[in-house]
Structure 1
Amino acid sequence: MNGRIAILVVNGGKDPGAGSWLELCLTSVRRHTPEGAARVYVWNNNLSDSRVRPLVESILGAVLVEADPGEGRYHPHAVPLQRLYERARADGADIIVTLDSDSFPVRDGWLELLVGPLGPEVPLSGAWRDELAPDVLPYVHPCGLAVTTEFVQGAGLRFDGFRSDRRAVCDTLAAFTDAVEERGLRAARLLRSNRNSFHRLMGGVYGGAIYHHGAGSRTNMAFWDEMKEDPERLKLIEEANRALRDESAELLFRFRDRFLAWLEGRGADSTGVAGGDFVLVLGMHRSGTSCLTGCLERCGLFLGEVSRSNTHNLRGNHEAKDLVAFQEGILRRLGGDWRNPPAACEPTAGEVASLRTMVEALSAGGRAGAKDPRTLLLSGAWSAAAGSCVRIGTYRHPAAVARSLEKRDGMPAREAHALWNAYNSRLVRLHEERPFPIVHFDLSDPASYVRTVCAAAARLGLDPDQAGVEEFVSRELDHAGGGEGEVP
């Protein structure tokens, strides 16, 4: 359909810390949209962000509308959309396109794909959100929506309207889909096209053309179908969702093309994450290090000759015997062992050289890594032997760890809790020195664990194999149960 096109974007919401998202959105629009093909209208709720005006002005003909700080609006997204719509229509727009600030085009031709189907029988087009069905009826989502002004006016629709007789839950612009279907018309659907996903709702690519991160500036991180959960369960769900959102956002901002290539199942180039660095899996004993390492192996991490099965780990602890013996030997030389961590762990030059030889031998087999909980106690030796190594950590509720250690080693609970604190205080200290992904080991929600691990694997520069990780993760790996509540 031919017509004058307006692209509407609202920056910031109730927690308007979305300046980086707006920058990604608008630079992607500029990158993938022919000059003059559409006029961009931006509403700015975040008046303190000095980047917004020059960013909008960098797009030819773009219009910036600043929020009135003294005006209260019952909805920080829908009301500004209505205001922008009125402005664009007054300027002569025939077609309205909406993008969320955390959505953006990922390829040339996106605009033609979105508006091309529009016509008398197809007045609406866009990202088809059906992931929450049946709790939320499917609809065209404003993260990538196109509609004719003729239909909006003729149907009496408003961008700030939330009423629909068909829906118990009516999200922003969901009523547009209902109006189309009630009139016997059709909406053109851009279906979710990911081959890989880190979350069932977040991180969607629609029609291979539009990316929507989801919840980019939200504080409430439970989705509609999760609200029915009990308060404690809901809190855990929100924590997992927030971690996934933030970890994946970091990947997206740092390694955009590589991250999108993984989502779409395309071969990614070698840019971005440190591709050859040795990976260290860190964590307290009985805290999910074996499970995490097994998952990373399925994402392409080479481990060499490791344990694949033993009495206390049905699928093995994924430790190399030589490395375990070597590190335990260092601890004994220092007057301790894994149950009695020495206060200081200074390696000798010979020990560093031996460790470096092990790393080099493993690395000859490809992108390599190692797991042994003792590594947390000997981080200085590893820094000296493999300074460019990258880290990933795991932790588990101390009560679950204590039960597992009592079952395996007969360890009293008081000793187990003290040991948990000794190891995890080192994990926290290393993370403060140089942040790295840390995974909460709790398999009461296996799907959430799988998503978290896949996002972390991508951050390490591995190739997340979601199906392989799902196959590996099973409830029997969680030897002492989960769902203990908050970790102290």
Structure 2
Amino acid sequence: MNQKPGRVIAILGMHRSGTSCLTGSLQEAGLDLGECHTWNPYNKKGNRENQAFVDLHDRILADSGGAWDQPPERAIWSAGHLAAGRRLLADHASSAVLGFKDPRALLVLGGWKSLLPDLEYVGIFRHPEAVAESLQNRSQIPREEALSLWYAYNRILYREWCQERFPLLCFDQEETVFNARVDTVVRQLNLDPVASPQRFYDNQLKTFAARSHHGLPWKIRFLYYKLKRASL
């Protein structure tokens, strides 16, 4: 019998869309992330990613002819990738509730579904212009390319939500509203209520705000509208 954690929760969302903030907030509520990054130059509290998961996702994307910024038409998990995924789960088998966060997970979710039929989800999204500005600042990605990536990732996010109806948050909400939504997610996921008044969310670290829809392609505006309708 394959060893694995009692529960596994995937935090889903596009790069620069609040996944780190959501993941850190859930970590405060008892979600186990294993060994994760707690600082980097573009995220002072860390992206909360477990590097072993990121490395596996990068290998799958590369072997499928793509990368995080060049999503392949289809991400194919080889037998070796599946074996590596099982080893990762076995490495965290002592965890009651394990979470993993990596935006690439949206591109490779099929393999995790096959390994974990009872995989749970929580998602987050952000205004496309804010994501585009943040990607340009971090990775020098031009606006049109960044918006195309926003659409590619969030189209998958919305498709998965339509199938599973998991908790979905909007990172454009102001701090008190966002934290209230996090508390709702914590209850829905049966995690521990956050006792500390000092929350993970820090509005001073949120450097790019939501912008107008003016100038956005129609399909991007419509997808953002659908995500807003689906969110808590």
* TM-score, normalised with respect to structure 1: 0.42
Q: Report the CA distance shift for 1:395/1:315 in structure 2 as closer, same or farther (over 3 A).
A: same
CA offset at residue 419 of structure 1? 0.3
CA offset at residue 360 of structure 1? 2.9
The letter for the 1-side match of 2:135 is L
Whether 1:440 aligns to 2:166 is: no
In the alignment, which residue of structure 2 is the partner of 1:453?
182
In the alignment, which residue of structure 2 is the partner of 1:480?
208
In the alignment, which residue of structure 2 is the partner of 1:49?
none
Q: Deviations over 1:244-274 (max 9, x none)?
A: xxxxxxxxxxxxxxxxxxxxxxxxxxxxxxx
Question: How many residues are aligned here?
Answer: 212
Structure whose CA Rg is larger: 1
2:19 to 289, 296, 308: 289
CA contact (8 A) 2:125 2:169 kept: yes
Q: Deviations over 1:150-171 (max 9, x none)?
A: xxxxxxxxxxxxxxxxxxxxxx
CA offset at residue 434 of structure 1? 1.3
> 1-side partners of 2:93 and 2:9: how far apart?
10
Whether 1:350 aligns to 2:80 is: yes
Whether 1:367 aligns to 2:97 is: yes
The letter for the 2-side match of 1:322 is A
CA offset at residue 466 of structure 1? 5.3
CA offset at residue 483 of structure 1? 6.4
CA offset at residue 362 of structure 1? 2.1
Q: Report the CA distance shift for 1:466/1:450 in structure 2 as closer, same or farther (over 3 A).
A: farther
Q: Deviations over 1:196-232 (max 9, x none)?
A: xxxxxxxxxxxxxxxxxxxxxxxxxxxxxxxxxxxxx
> 1-side partners of 2:35 and 2:67: how far apart?
24
Secondary structure of 1:370's counterpart equals strand
CA contact (8 A) 1:286 1:401 kept: yes
The letter for the 2-side match of 1:475 is N
Q: Deviations over 1:320-377 (max 9, x none)?
A: 1121111111100110000000011121122112112212322413311100000000
Secondary structure of 1:318's counterpart equals coil
In the alignment, which residue of structure 1 is the partner of 2:28?
298
Matched ranges for 1:48-87 at <5 A: none
Q: Deviations over 1:441-473 (max 9, x none)?
A: 025x201000001101211111121535x5211
1:396 to 120, 123, 126: 126
In the alignment, which residue of structure 2 is the partner of 1:408?
138
Higher RCO structure (Cα 8 Å, ≥6 apart): 2
Secondary structure of 1:325's counterpart equals helix
Q: Deviations over 1:166-212 (max 9, x none)?
A: xxxxxxxxxxxxxxxxxxxxxxxxxxxxxxxxxxxxxxxxxxxxxxx
CA contact (8 A) 1:406 1:412 kept: yes
CA contact (8 A) 2:6 2:95 kept: no
> 2-side partners of 1:277 and 1:362: how far apart?
11
In the alignment, which residue of structure 1 is the partner of 2:61?
331
The letter for the 2-side match of 1:281 is I
In the alignment, which residue of structure 1 is the partner of 2:70?
340
Q: Deviations over 1:85-138 (max 9, x none)?
A: xxxxxxxxxxxxxxxxxxxxxxxxxxxxxxxxxxxxxxxxxxxxxxxxxxxxxx
CA contact (8 A) 1:392 1:438 kept: yes
Structure 1: segments with no counterpart, 5+ residues: 1-274
CA contact (8 A) 1:353 1:385 kept: no
Q: Which runs of 4+ in 1 moved over 6 A?
A: none
Structure 2: segments with no counterpart, 5+ residues: 214-220, 226-232
CA offset at residue 384 of structure 1? 1.2
In the alignment, which residue of structure 1 is the partner of 2:217?
none
The letter for the 2-side match of 1:463 is D
Q: Report the CA distance shift for 1:379/1:454 in structure 2 as closer, same or farther (over 3 A).
A: same
> 1-side partners of 2:86 and 2:162: how far apart?
25
In the alignment, which residue of structure 2 is the partner of 1:174?
none
Q: Report the CA distance shift for 1:475/1:367 in structure 2 as closer, same or farther (over 3 A).
A: same
Q: Deviations over 1:33-68 (max 9, x none)?
A: xxxxxxxxxxxxxxxxxxxxxxxxxxxxxxxxxxxx
> 1-side partners of 2:193 and 2:154: how far apart?
26
CA contact (8 A) 1:455 1:464 kept: no
Secondary structure of 2:130's counterpart equals helix
Q: Report the CA distance shift for 1:366/1:277 in structure 2 as closer, same or farther (over 3 A).
A: closer
1:384 to 114, 117, 133: 114
Q: CA RMSD in A?
A: 1.8
Q: Deviations over 1:401-455 (max 9, x none)?
A: 0000000001000000000000000001111111100010025x20100000110
CA contact (8 A) 1:301 1:368 kept: yes
CA contact (8 A) 1:393 1:436 kept: yes
In the alignment, which residue of structure 2 is the partner of 1:105?
none
In the alignment, which residue of structure 2 is the partner of 1:321?
51
Secondary structure of 2:108's counterpart equals helix
